[in-house]
Chains A and B, each alone.
Chain A
């Protein structure tokens, strides 16, 4: 015979949140910055095979930190949702907001129902007028960001250094240099390779392009 001990909801949520935060804190961070022609996504990633940044739809991109298998599930589900909406209706009907809301609902449900929450944080970016940056945390909380955003272990420090010196209408080169400098300030250690991609409004229908950034 088994006994189910009563655990107050408050305690349960706190324990899960602490668990998820610890998992995320172990991983490296990702930054997003608006520049004159779109949005730059920059991740510290020593691997050239396992990606953290991905194309979702014509003007929408995804970035995830934390456990690879968990954000990979979210990434694929996001692509499925976007492609399905675009196929059943029109390509114009697919928005970052719908994708981010779906992530938020899914993560929220997993956080409250599953014994183990997802140890992930994801970012959904959209190039347009205006650009959109959404951040979704492990418990499904959805944040609407402007100009710059960061997710991952050092997100708080990173977003502070991203904000300092960010200017409206900066070029891609300037944004990349600024992003790399912000990582250096936030981490305070040698960085181990970059993964970078842009959503650039000059790229035609599919705005997503990967960038080759040499390790500094």
Chain B
């Protein structure tokens, strides 16, 4: 009796490296899609605003919970900020379906490397690999299905939080203080630019991050702010020397209420 699926042991494979996505490619699990030559109007749910900022001990990453399709709300409680391993997290904006799958592959890739090699990739190494995943999406981007992630983590080599933004062709840019991607990104960034301070403590960093998200939701209709009536709060992840920690709704609630009541 065998429970669940089973596969033959992957012994003699052409590229027995430590990369999981290379393994998938070798085994033919990533069949290239046949895309039409002319771009077509294809509507799929899109994730909107996510942002990250550096504080004294690490980085905080925040994302709203709404996915929109055209002018409609597709999902009210989607998740856009994910821990990618013990010391990093990734947030996504753009075509939700592709982005969530990209995160899943990224998570498996990091864990696979860690188990095969017996040590974790450096934060820089993880960021570089994510750029490769974004670049692989380029054919889809030409069809209008764009995925742009945001990556942040605690760098154990330098002992501080670092964050990276990307562009649609897989360009990777390290940001000093804060970064944001998605439809409300410019609004969130201008809020952060005027309110960011050096050496913030964790609670004030969380307040600032949620405040920036609420500011973006005010002007950008696609971004969903905290929904106090339904009890839907932004996803908040903090990463410091202790590792990744996701705040519970009860922990996010005070920051959300403060940010909402500060709206004029």
Contact = CB atoms under 8 A, between A and B. Distances in A.
B117 to A, nearest CB: 10
Q: Please report whether the interface of chain B is mostly helix, strand, loop or mixed according to DSSP.
A: loop
Given A83-B115, A87-B24, 14 more contacts: A54-B118, A56-B115, A76-B116, A77-B9, A80-B10, A80-B13, A84-B23, A85-B7, A87-B104, A87-B108, A88-B29, A95-B4, A102-B6, A105-B8
Interface of B: 2-11, 13, 16, 20, 23-24, 27, 29, 104-105, 108, 111-112, 115-116, 118
A80 B23 contact: yes
Contact of A102 (B4, B9, B27, B105): B9
Contact of B4 (A51, A83, A84, A89): A89
| Chain A interface main SS type | helix
A190 B214 CA distance: 65
A84 B11 contact: no
A55 B20 CA distance: 16
A93 B4 contact: yes
Interface of A: 51, 54-56, 73-74, 76-81, 83-89, 92-95, 97-98, 101-103, 105-106
A98 B6 contact: yes
What 3 pairs across the A-B complex have the smallest Cβ distances? A102-B9, A98-B6, A93-B4
B3 A97 contact: yes
Given A102-B8, A105-B9, A87 B105 contact: yes
10 contacts: A73-B11, A79-B116, A81-B7, A81-B9, A84-B23, A85-B5, A85-B7, A89-B5, A92-B4, A95-B4
B115 A54 contact: yes
A56 B112 CA distance: 9
A135 B11 CA distance: 19
A88 B20 CA distance: 12
